[in-house]
A and B are shown apart, each in its own frame.
Chain A
């Protein structure tokens, strides 16, 4: 599971470099997220802009990461593509996460 993390001030930005988080990869996703989020930060933002598809296993894995980070840190999501957005909306998980249309500005992503 290709995930990369960059610390921008107090925000840990995790980029998903895969086009799917599904039953075939949900466990690897969870494991890799656990490793990457060991880096201390106030906020964790998961960029899903390259992810075209999340199934119920992938959704469950993202929820598991949210729970693992709580209560000290909250998992924020950015860049949901249309099908991913639909899964979050129908399951009402869109109300559980802080969701940004895109990565928060001024992160200095060029660095």
Chain B
């Protein structure tokens, strides 16, 4: 499936992805985790890889119980140092220094396995798996 890279298109695209025949039979709990992870990955591409300039995102989904396999590619800018952000859990000592961002990669890393990123021929290729409990 191909999506346009802007926040409203991500909303619409996410809805279409979750309704895709490839996700037929995905249990509710995995579906909700998939929605969270896909939203984070897609918004990250919109905000950083394409930096608001727009572009095309290609998403491939494949579910065979209990594993959901996802591959996402875009033509935007590479990840800094060609590496995925670490997504470490935020540390804070009080309300005043609570983080207002940085939750995205933490959520992605927490809910996925086999998370892999590579830069190939000017494209970003991200793949990961998620499993039903």
Query: Which residues of chain A have a CB within 8 Å of any CB of chain B?
Result: 20, 22-24, 53, 55-57, 59-61, 63-64, 66-67, 70-71, 82-83, 86-87, 90-92, 96
Measured in the bound complex, the distance between the Cα atoms of B99 and A64 in whole Å is 8
Choice from A23, A63, A90 contacting B111 with Cβ under 8 Å: A90
Interface majority SS on B: helix, strand, loop or mixed? helix
11 A-B pairs within 8 Å (CB atoms) are namely A22-B7, A24-B7, A24-B8, A24-B10, A55-B104, A56-B40, A56-B107, A57-B101, A63-B99, A67-B98, A90-B107
Cβ distance A90 to chain B, nearest Cβ, rounded Å: 5
**In this assembly, does B115 line the interface, its C-beta being within 8 Å of a C-beta of chain A?**
no
Point out the residues of chain B lying under 8 angstroms from A20, CB to CB. Answer: 11
Complex interface: chain B residues within 8 A of A22 (CB): 7, 11, 39, 43
Is there contact, CB below 8 Å, between B98 and A96? yes
For chain B, give the interface size range: 20 to 34
What are the residues of chain A within 8 A of B28 when measuring CB–CB?
Answer: 82
| Distance between Cα atoms of A111 and B96 in the complex (Å) | 36
Least CB separation from B47: chain A residue: A23
Cβ of B106 within 8 Å of any chain A Cβ, yes or no, is: yes
Contact A92-B40, Cβ < 8 Å, known A24-B7, A56-B101, A67-B98: no
Q: CB within 8 A of B32: which of A24, A59, A86?
A: A86
The answer to whether A91 touches B103 (Cβ under 8 A) is yes
In the complex, A87→B46 CA distance in Å? 21
Q: A23-B46, A24-B7, A86-B36 are in contact. Are A59 and B103 (CB under 8 A)?
A: yes
B112 contacts partner chain A, Cβ-Cβ < 8 Å: no
Do the beta carbons of A60 and B103 come within 8 Å of each other?
A: yes
Of B40, B98, B100, B110, which is within 8 A of A55 by CB? B40
B35 at the interface (CB under 8 A from A): yes
A74 nearest CB across to chain B (Å): 8
Residue of A nearest to B105 (CB): A56
In the complex, are the beta carbons of A87 and B107 less than 8 A apart?
Answer: yes
Among candidates B33, B89, B96, residue contacting A86 with C-beta atoms closer than 8 Å: B33
Known: A22-B7, A57-B101. 12 other contacts (CB 8 A): A24-B7, A53-B35, A53-B39, A56-B107, A57-B43, A59-B103, A67-B95, A70-B96, A87-B36, A90-B111, A91-B89, A96-B95
